[in-house]
Structure 1
Amino acid sequence: MSCPHCPHCKNIPNSQSSSLGPFEEIALIETEITRLFDLTVKLNKDRVALLRRLNSCRSATRNLPFDVLSLIFQEAVLSIDTSSHPLRLPSKETHLSDHPIILGSVCSQWYYAAQSTPQLWASLDIDICHEKSAPAKLALLDLYLKNVKNVSFSLELSFDTE
């Protein structure tokens, strides 16, 4: 397959053999760089979509209906006792209210199941002692309020300065 200005086809105009002026050649090169960047972005999006599809095909839970997966999530989250054995992520303690986000990050199916299970979003514990993290905490609160829908909501605010 041959196309104009394609590095694969070796049809990029050569500055020595071209009658273009320096400004025109720069514009041509910049246009080609932009086209290649846009092509790379599109190829990466296509790759991500195919990887998601592949993960979905390989998933052991792919045949479970969302409502069954939702019930499993509710049972798993509500049965975790973090008071005696707190769960830990690499850099911070995980609160019970973090679990919908963790579950939703596994795969797209789990994401949609977690998003559509308001009971998972019914409780949030926010530590608001650090002013720098306020925008992230507000975004987290917004996410919970959006997903909790018509289920009662519990908010715990911590003001520890230690």
Structure 2
Amino acid sequence: MSVQELRARIQKLSSEIELQKKLLNKLERDKCLVQRQLNAVLDPVARLPLEISSEIFLQSLAPIAQPGARHLPMLLLNVCHAWADIALSTPALWAAIDVAFPCSEGFQEVLKIWLRRARNRPLSMSLRGDLEDRSAVAAIIWQPGQQLRNFEICVDTEDDEDGITDVDLFRGMSPGSLPLLETLTIRGVLWRKFYGPSILQLISRAPNLRECSFHEVEPVYLLDFKSEKVVLPNLRRLMFGPCLGKPTSDDDILGCLSLPALEALSVSLRYVSGHELLSFLERSSPPLQELVVGDGSELVRLHDLFHLLPGLTSFEIWGLGPPLMTELFAVLADSPVPPPQLSPLVHPQRPGARYFRFLLENTPSRTFRPS
């Protein structure tokens, strides 16, 4: 054969090869499609209605999801197309996320994708680790801020590489509005200082906050007690601790707050005095039902305390010394309502620690007279 004929033959064979490749690709696609159909027929999850299969996936989640291919819900995307379709059609699967600092490169892009999958669902977010990268923290917090319903900050490092031990959540950056935020938890490491104004700034941006907890947040510094009080009209529960049942966190921030709807308070009295606690109660006039006091030796004017809390039904006190115990019994004995039965309790996790819990039988007309 001539050179020209050989080249023509090669060109023809190449064309046939390309045609066969296209045919092979089509057969591969057809095979995948049929395989997906077979999987859908055999897979019990895929045969279920979407609302049921979605609920099964939701029940498999951890309380706060971690990003990563080995964790749910990302893991569901790698099982099969049917499961991926269900996961991507279930925004609630993406409504919680746990962010560990320092973040990996490109994490903010991952977060954007995650939030798109959550659509407009209220979010739960947990931040933990070393929060020194302020720009990254701010971007991650305020990007979904309008959707945050539950928010936890966990500072689980004792100090940074430079030996700085204070924690300023924003470093001068103003937080955005948090209109849906209902629960806020801040966890620290004892003796790592927290910058008080940043905490106040955070909670002041959450007008619908219902529950706020501080765990080992001590000490809190640079609070301005003479400035206008931060009013949280919907806060129902405020907890400074507890650690093994006993409140432990710095409760100084109580002097900056007015909480007219508060129903449960756990206060350590480590920094707030008994007089300041009474001032807070007089200022807020809350319908308090549960009160836990971490250091009974600092409590004063018990008759005034009970008089300010006519709806109190549960009273737990630690470190109750003989003088205060005598006063407490005198106040209760002088009450027109029969005093409750009082008994010392041994904490199950701290056998050597004794405290008292009182269940008070209240009526709307109950009053306490000074002893």
Aligned equivalents of 2:77, 2:114: Cα separation in 1: 13
- DSSP-derived class of the 2:46 partner: coil
Residue identity (%): 27
Q: Where does structure 1 lack aligned partners over 5 or more consecutive residues?
A: 1-15, 83-91
Structure 2 residue 37 is the aligned partner of structure 1 residue 53: yes
Shift of 1:123: 3.0
Residue 81 of structure 2 corresponds to: 108
**Equivalent of residue 11 in structure 2, options 17, 27, 48:** 27
Structure 2 residue 101 is the aligned partner of structure 1 residue 121: no
Matches for 1:1-40 after TM superposition, within 5 Å? 21-40=5-24
Q: Deviations over 1:38-70 (max 9, x none)?
A: 111111101111111111111122331101111
Highest RCO, 1 vs 2 (Cα 8 Å, sep ≥ 6): 1
Residue 254 of structure 2 corresponds to: none
Aligned equivalents of 1:21, 1:119: Cα separation in 2: 66
Structure 2 residue 54 is the aligned partner of structure 1 residue 70: yes
Q: Is the 8 A contact 1:129 1:158 kept in 2?
A: no
When Rg is computed on C-alpha atoms for both structures, the one with the higher figure is: 2
Structure 2 residue 128 is the aligned partner of structure 1 residue 151: no
Residue 344 of structure 2 corresponds to: none
Q: Which amino acid aligns with 1:105?
A: N
Residue 99 of structure 1 corresponds to: 72
**Equivalent of residue 141 in structure 1, options 104, 108, 111:** 111
Q: Is the 8 A contact 1:122 1:152 kept in 2?
A: yes
- DSSP-derived class of the 1:150 partner: coil
Q: Which amino acid aligns with 2:121?
A: V
Q: Deviations over 1:126-160 (max 9, x none)?
A: 666554xx3xx455333312211001343748679
Aligned equivalents of 2:49, 2:69: Cα separation in 1: 31
Aligned equivalents of 2:103, 2:129: Cα separation in 1: 7
Q: Which amino acid aligns with 2:10?
A: I
Residue 12 of structure 1 corresponds to: none
**Farther-moved stretch of structure 1 (72-81 vs 30-39):** 72-81
Q: In proportion to residue count, which structure has more helix? A: 1
Residue 89 of structure 1 corresponds to: none
Aligned equivalents of 1:31, 1:123: Cα separation in 2: 53
Shift of 1:22: 2.5
Q: Is the 8 A contact 2:69 2:75 kept in 1?
A: no
**Farther-moved stretch of structure 1 (42-51 vs 147-156):** 147-156
Q: Is the 8 A contact 2:65 2:72 kept in 1?
A: no
Q: Which amino acid aligns with 1:40?
A: L
Q: Is the 8 A contact 2:36 2:81 kept in 1?
A: yes
Q: In proportion to residue count, which structure has more strand? A: 2
Q: 1:52 to 1:139 in 2, by over 3 A?
A: farther
User: How many residues matched?
Assistant: 128
Residue 26 of structure 2 corresponds to: 42
Q: Which amino acid aligns with 1:141?
A: L
The two structures, once aligned, show a CA RMSD in angstroms of 3.4
TM-score using structure 1 length = 0.62
Q: Deviations over 1:24-43 (max 9, x none)?
A: 22211111111111111111
Shift of 1:80: 8.5
